[in-house]
Structure 1
């Protein structure tokens, strides 16, 4: 018999509170009839549900109500989606049957609930989703986009409750959300959800950095608020005098975006000036929207000097996810650059709620682009030859990229990611055009397939029937559509060439009275150093391997003694593998690490990508070749490993130090002054008495950037070294190489 879940008084209060909050949200966006339907779904959910608890310990009833609240209030979806968010958990646990859902709420609700249950089933074995299953998730999503919108709400609520999970689950879930769902929210235009997800991912995966920036923002809040007020006041007066109805406010940028600026600009927090953006939201009629936005732009740039290179016009041609706004950067008081965003209330709702707002404002300009993107996703999903790793990489290609807008010879507008080439454009027109592409005419001038496209280009593709797809083209294209179609075309071509090669070999050997079998073919593959049998046949098909040389090899083998010394070959192979493995990783000394439950004498190595040292937070990763590789939690490859291969993650921690020496590499930037390198070396070798393995410096235009590799016992020694190098006169910044970028 299943254990009965005891519901506390506090939890009952929380359920009632969430219930009332959801009904209030529904009354603002739904008709009275739809609110009645939602109330019916809430009552069915609460009355029929046998209480369950999630891995966090939270009651599933509370979770469902909170997800439904996000769906209603923060994404702005309607009756069907809210009901689905409430009911898919009770259907999954078989407290309510699917046929009952169909009878009471209709086929649409049943179809989405079925999709949600399929997605939830992907999580039955673990708290995070594996790459292989992500394709299945997207298959549900591609049928009805509301499935993924509800799942995004589910993941957002999970992130808000992440403190209730175990530390290992926190890492897995945060890595997955950062790797898959935050980019997805961005692509669907859910900027608020995307920003919150990114900040919370950083909170759990880079806690020290997150806390540092949060504290700095808190310390500078008063000065920042005063600056925003001084910037806004003169604009308010002039906008009012122009007869505009508006709201103007300052918004501090997210911790995640500030962290990116610190890295990109390679500067300390104190020198990052654009910590906030000013947003002007206009109450305008739809026919006056563009004119009013440009009127505000004129007033802002009359008052403050604009930076012409930072103007972003998404009014004339919105982003493909529907985002419309006018952005400019101006020089405010104290000579500080300030970003100003200008949009209407309608545009703001689209920016906050993405697709859902488009459904509210019928005929939104972003809907056509979104339909095209969903069509492309279905196309990638339907390619069964694409393995999971390539698939997820292809899928993510277009998520964050900025866009360029180009035209066909007939004047049709085409959107492509920034950096797209002529060959991308050709495949965007049609895969048959892409395969035969030999170049283009851009604005009337001849261009190669590699040429990068610019906004406003008019492009006419030039084709040739003798042209065939090439593997080198994969380095030319950037869009997922082009990569997917190109890989398939190359595979088809390789198969045809391999078939021709196989038929040629069989026919010629038969003429020479030589019988071919699997063992002989495998020997030939190894002799000619081919990766696979198909590659071997293909090389024959295209003439790279002469069939006469195959005949010569077979005749030589027949002359040799049958009893070949296999032991010598095996020994040589074993020795080669041993050397390769030793060269690949730095092996740690015995008993430095304790993996899981005091497990010792494990074959483990320290990963070169992040060079963990004693004191770092670490985890183990089971290698395909055997053994465990130890990585830092902040390793740049950690999010991908956790999302794609979560089942191969092993908990790991250090035991006592035992005086072992570890390798660490520091990135140092500074002024290219005489003697600065000598001063840095002196700090390492004389002041700290550390062994230095290498130092390399690259000077340019009065400044230098270099890397220093040293041996240290633990993170305390490394932190002290970083502090001392930072104090060297002329040094701008010091950071450890091998952390999340």
Structure 2
């Protein structure tokens, strides 16, 4: 374990004497605050904050981060308030400590919810100061290093949380060394036997591979010398968890994964990287399609390097990474390296630091739009992606998106309004489905229309947290406005039976009803009616309690226009279309479901005014409605094409088709046809009857 003196000695290599003394002061304060407290291992508690500060010192973090590391458990474990820390060490350090402190005061129903709330608080603090996450990661790393003293169940829970959230965050922030250690320690805690088996196999393979490794390294060194270039060449081994993941995910044997030899070449400047690439491609033949230039197009976490795969001697595959010293530092410490390369007057975030800020800003946006903490953490987990695709806007700007992203993800990455009004897309100038996964190097253009709305079906294929959260948010708003509109029409419809109208009801009476139903706004009550959670008939009676009974439901049925949106559904059991006699069934949470008057599914409640409402079709009803037809006809060649042609000729559209062969001669075809109204359906049926061999056509109802 490091002592404060040895830590201070290390800090003096890059911090001034005054700053080192401030870190010392924070240590002594923490030592006093945690006096008498011990860790599970029996050591004095202060050894933990000291170890956390030591991890940050390895990354050359600034003195305020180190002070926060020393004090990070003081608020939580010793009862010292944030204000006291601010008075002693300044507002910045107190804010950092508060950001890192866990949420222990709140009572959660589930561990998942607690974890989600924890992460939300951390995201808020990260937005104020990105160093919060670095202290938090160092704290988690030391806890993972000392995990074996905990009971098995708790150890596995912490390891699972680390693998799911903290390791991807470290990766997202470009902190490769920490990311690898998180994964290996998490793997060891989750699967101790598998970890040990793979570790043993790697040790054994290393001995067998030593000769080939040395020969390959020697040939690379000689190659650089011949070209007059200098660079540090080192062998690179895959970490245990990545070997395990590849064996599981790709179903490959250990020997296949260990067959690949990997080297890293670190040089002085960017120009030399490309010259070294040319030299090694001359030495061994490169594998087509395996070259990646992350220097010209850095990864989303700021990582830069050239990657190539070569056929070495005896056809052995060699993976090579070529990068500068600064890129190496950034690859290992990611965002933390920002403080290492930051000059005194440079306060503008650059490179990986700017990208991290952008990512945190995105997280904050997700948080504001998410319905609850669990939905938020689901979105964040989706967003902590290891693989990216790089696509271009029509103006040539590069956009980074997770693997599997679609044009809808791209639209929301450009701007929320572009996503919400998106109706189509062009990929490399050709019209393409919105659900098509994007490939690196594609140019994507979004076609939008004013007044367009997100489609609920998009949730089935979008992959980014931002797109998912914004679609859900827009659908909630859309559903609310549609529910309010429908609720108002339904309530006024019933009130008309009392010779009244919502505008004629006194504000005082409305407020009484809102208080009774524990609602705040008139719109909330109308939304409840529109969603079917409250019955318009009951609410109307309560609003009009001072005067008599309703004379039936009103002057006439409620007119349906077909534009009511998400809160109006058409029953799949009887598929009503304009022109059919209809009735509305009020279903809690779903709004109104439109059935045929003769539908057997609602025969029991047909005349209950609290469950059903009389409906009619408006004169200006719009939209397309599905109806199911059963066609019996003689079996013949090209049967489906003939039917489809006839439906199309009558301006209909086939949504679905199925076929049974009743016997060798007669076929029965089920068609789901999209029509405008009953007159249109009659034209479609008439057209089908003219076909040769058609015996019988029936409309399928419940």
Question: Normalization by structure 1: what TM-score?
Answer: 0.66
- Secondary structure, counterpart of 2:400 in structure 1: strand
Residue 588 of structure 2 corresponds to residue 533 of structure 1: yes
CA distance in 1, matches of 2:283, 2:107: 54
Q: 310-319 or 137-146, which moves further after superposition? A: 137-146
Conserved 8 A contact 1:25-1:69: no
Residue 331 of structure 2 corresponds to residue 366 of structure 1: no
Conserved 8 A contact 1:81-1:109: yes
The equivalent residue for 1:357 is 337
Conserved 8 A contact 2:407-2:434: yes
Residue 319 of structure 2 corresponds to residue 339 of structure 1: yes
Residue 205 of structure 2 corresponds to residue 220 of structure 1: yes
| Structural mapping, 1:100-115, within 5 Å | 100-115=84-99
| Structural mapping, 1:425-444, within 5 Å | 425-444=410-429
Taking a change above 3 Å as real, the CA distance of residues 160 and 123 of structure 1, as seen in their structure-2 partners, is farther
1:554 CA drift (Å)? 4.9
1:462 CA drift (Å)? 1.4
- Secondary structure, counterpart of 2:318 in structure 1: strand
1:548 CA drift (Å)? 11
Q: 409-418 or 113-122, which moves further after superposition? A: 113-122
1:642-693 residue CA offsets vs partner (Å, 9 max, x unmatched): xxxxxxxxxxxxxxxxxxxxxxxxxxxxxxxxxxxxxxxxxxxxxxxxxxxx
Taking a change above 3 Å as real, the CA distance of residues 48 and 471 of structure 1, as seen in their structure-2 partners, is closer
CA distance in 1, matches of 2:107, 2:195: 28
Q: 218-227 or 484-493, which moves further after superposition? A: 218-227
CA distance in 1, matches of 2:291, 2:50: 42
CA distance in 1, matches of 2:207, 2:537: 73
1:479 CA drift (Å)? 1.4
CA distance in 1, matches of 2:23, 2:436: 54
Conserved 8 A contact 2:62-2:339: no
1:401 CA drift (Å)? 3.8
1:438 CA drift (Å)? 1.3
CA distance in 2, matches of 1:123, 1:181: 23
Conserved 8 A contact 2:103-2:117: no
1:273 CA drift (Å)? 3.1
CA distance in 1, matches of 2:19, 2:174: 26
The equivalent residue for 2:658 is none
CA distance in 2, matches of 1:162, 1:491: 43
Taking a change above 3 Å as real, the CA distance of residues 522 and 254 of structure 1, as seen in their structure-2 partners, is farther
Conserved 8 A contact 1:437-1:449: no
Question: Out of 455, 463, 487, which is 1:478 matched to?
Answer: 463
Taking a change above 3 Å as real, the CA distance of residues 156 and 26 of structure 1, as seen in their structure-2 partners, is same
CA distance in 2, matches of 1:368, 1:203: 34
The equivalent residue for 2:435 is 450
Taking a change above 3 Å as real, the CA distance of residues 315 and 83 of structure 1, as seen in their structure-2 partners, is same
- Secondary structure, counterpart of 2:591 in structure 1: helix
- Secondary structure, counterpart of 2:454 in structure 1: coil
1:231 CA drift (Å)? 0.8
CA distance in 2, matches of 1:522, 1:34: 73
- Secondary structure, counterpart of 2:390 in structure 1: strand
Taking a change above 3 Å as real, the CA distance of residues 259 and 316 of structure 1, as seen in their structure-2 partners, is same
The equivalent residue for 2:60 is 76
Conserved 8 A contact 1:423-1:450: yes
The equivalent residue for 1:314 is 294
CA distance in 2, matches of 1:415, 1:109: 34
Conserved 8 A contact 2:533-2:589: no
Q: Give the paired residue count.
A: 533
Question: Out of 55, 74, 89, which is 2:73 matched to?
Answer: 89
| Structural mapping, 1:157-196, within 5 Å | 157-196=142-181
Residue 303 of structure 2 corresponds to residue 323 of structure 1: yes
Question: Out of 277, 295, 302, which is 2:275 matched to?
Answer: 295
Gaps (5+ residues) in structure 2? 343-348, 501-528, 539-566, 573-584, 612-702
1:48 CA drift (Å)? 4.6
- Secondary structure, counterpart of 1:354 in structure 2: helix
| Structural mapping, 1:273-284, within 5 Å | 273-274=258-259, 277-282=262-267, 284=268
Conserved 8 A contact 2:260-2:316: no
Conserved 8 A contact 2:172-2:386: no
1:675-728 residue CA offsets vs partner (Å, 9 max, x unmatched): xxxxxxxxxxxxxxxxxxxxxxxxxxxxxxxxxxxxxxxxxxxxxxxxxxxxxx
Residue 399 of structure 2 corresponds to residue 414 of structure 1: yes
1:557 CA drift (Å)? 4.7
| Structural mapping, 1:227-238, within 5 Å | 227-238=212-223
Conserved 8 A contact 2:423-2:449: yes
Conserved 8 A contact 1:329-1:340: yes
Taking a change above 3 Å as real, the CA distance of residues 555 and 89 of structure 1, as seen in their structure-2 partners, is closer
C-alpha RMSD over aligned residues: 3.5
1:166 CA drift (Å)? 1.3
Question: Out of 51, 54, 60, which is 2:45 matched to?
Answer: 60
